[in-house]
Amino acid sequence: MAAIDPTTLKASELAAAVNRGELRAGSVADHYLNRVETLHPLFNCHIHWDKAEVRNELEKQIDAIEVARYAKKYLPLAGVPISIKDNIMVEGQIAACASRLLAPHRAAYDATVIQKLKAAGALLIGRTNMDEFAMGSSNENSAFGPVHNPWNRRHVAGGSSGGSAAAVAGSLVPLALGSDTGGSIRQPASFCGVYGLKPTYGRVSRYGLVAFGSSLDQIGPLARNVEDLALLYDVLAGPDGRDSTASQRVPLPTQLALPSGNLKGLRVATIREFMGEGLDSEVRKSLESALETMRQLGAETVEVSLPHLAASIPVYYILATAEASSNLARFDGVRYGARSQKPGLNLKEMYLQTRSEGFGREVKQRIMLGTYVLSAGYYDAYYNRAARMREVIKREMEGVFEKEGVHVLVSPTAPTTAFELGQKTQDSLSMYLSDVYTLAANLAGIPAMSQPMGKDSKGLPIGLQLMGPSFAEERLLQVAYQFERHQPPMGVPDLIPSQL
C-alpha cells in the first residue's frame, strides 16, 4: 500500500486518517516540520521558530492523540498541523506580537482557543509573522521583516495576519489562526488565495488574545477550502466564562450542504458604494463573474445602498487607535517584555525610552493618534462622534438584512490584488484604503469571510467577501461551499517545489 502524503489531504481527511490509525500523528508532524523548515526562508511567515524546540513541544500532543486513538475517542483535528498568529497566547511560547518590545516575553497560559485546539488533537506547528500588534495591512510593520506572498515574493501577503495566510497558501500548514480587527484575516486571505473567516463579535473567545481594539478584535480561522474552514470554526466557537464579551449562545455543528444543492431562494446584494472609484477593473470583472455563477446556482442578485459606509475609515481609525492607545499603555518596560538598558534613567524616562526603542513607527503613529482623540477638548469632537457614527453604520447594515430581505452581502474583499512590497509604506492613507471594504463588518460586529474568486492577469489571487447578519456564519459557509464547487481550484503557487 502506497504511503499517504499528508499534504494532499484536506484537514478533515487528515484527521480521519489519524483517528483510524492510517497515519500517525508523529509522522504527520515530522512531514510538516520539514516543509516549514524548507519553505520558511522563501516567505518569512513563521517567527521564533526552531524545529527541534517545536518537535519537542509536540511530544505531549502526539502522545495524547495516540491515547485517544486507542480509546476510540474521535478527535476532530487529530494530527492536523496548525500555525498560530503571534498575538495569541500559548503557554511557554514567545508571544511577541512581532514587536521588539515583547521579543523576550513567553506566555504564562493558554488562550481559550489554544485549549480548544489541543483538546481537538491539533498539532501547534509554529507562530506566524504579523504586523506589529496587528497594526497594518501588508505585514511590512513586523520587527522580524515582511512576509512574502507565495504567489509572487515581490508582493505583500496582506495584514495583519499575513504570516498565517501565507503559511496556508504555501501549504506549510493546512490551517492557521489569525485575528481580525478591521480586515486582518480577510484581506491577507484575499491576497494569498485562501479562505478566511471573521466570526460574529463574541462568537469566539478573545481570552488570551493580545488586545488591539477590544470592541473590534476577533480570532478566526484560515484554510485552503470551505470544509476545513468550517471544521476549524466549529472547534473555536462557543461561550467562555473568562471573556465577558463572549456570547453565551452555544453554536450547533455547521452543516455545509444545502438541501436544494444550490442557492435557490437566496437574495444576494452588492453594495453600490463599494463599486465606484478605487476598484480595480480586473477585480470588478471577477466579481461580476462570481455574481453570474451565483445567479446560475439560483440566487437572486440585487444592489443596495449603504451611504454611511463611506465613514467607515475615519470612524475605524478613531475608535481603533483610541482603544489601542489604552490597551498598549501596559507595555511600559515594567511588567512585560524588554526594558531600555540606557543607564541613568528615572522612572518616567525609562517608560519613554523603552517605548521609543520597542515600538515601531506604525504603532507609535496609531498610539499618538489614539491619545489625541481621547484627550481633553477633543474627546467629544472625535471619539464620541465616531462612536455615534458606528451605531449608525451598524443599524444601516442590520436594516439591509432585516428590512430588505437580503441574506448575504457580497463585495470584493479588497479593491486591488496584492501590491508590491514597499509600494505603500510611505503613504499611510493609501495603505489604510486597502481595508476599505472590510472595516464595516468589524464596526457592525457581523460575520464576514473571504474566499478566492479567481486571479488577475499577473496571476495574483482575487478575494470575494461575504457578509451576513450576526451569528449567520453557517449561512456564509454554505454559500461559500456552493460557490467553491463551481470554481476552478486555485492550485499551488509555482514557488512551491514539486518534490516536497
Instruction: Give the catalytic positions in this structure.
Output: 85, 160, 184
Burial of 65 (0-12, 13-18, 19+ CB in 10 A): buried
Q: Is 193 left (phi over 0), alpha (psi -120 to 50) or beta?
A: left
What is the SS3 assignment for 397?
helix
Angstrom CA distances, 406 to 265, 287, 302, stand at 11, 18, 9
DSSP letters spanning 333-365:
SSSSS-----TT--HHHHHHHHHHHHS-HHHHH
What is the SS3 assignment for 164?
helix
Grid coordinates standing for 127?
507562530
Q: Are the C-beta atoms of residues 336 and 330 closer than 8 Å to each other?
A: yes
Grid coordinates standing for 147?
512576509
- Separation of alpha carbons 417 and 457, rounded Å: 10
Burial of 83 (0-12, 13-18, 19+ CB in 10 A): buried
179: cis peptide before it, omega within 30°? no
C-alpha torsion angle, residues 456, 460, 461, 465 (rounded to 10): -70
Q: Tell me the CB-side half-sphere exposure of residue 433, using CA atoms within 13 A.
A: 16
Helical segments of 420-500, H only: 428-432, 439-444, 473-485
Element spanning 289, H or E: helix 281-296
For residue 54, what are the contacts with CB-CB under 8 A and spacing of at least 6?
33, 125, 126
Angstrom CA distances, 497 to 22, 161, 170, 242, stand at 26, 24, 10, 44
Angstrom CA distances, 488 to 165, 285, 467, stand at 20, 16, 23
- Separation of alpha carbons 145 and 143, rounded Å: 6
Grid coordinates standing for 399?
436594516
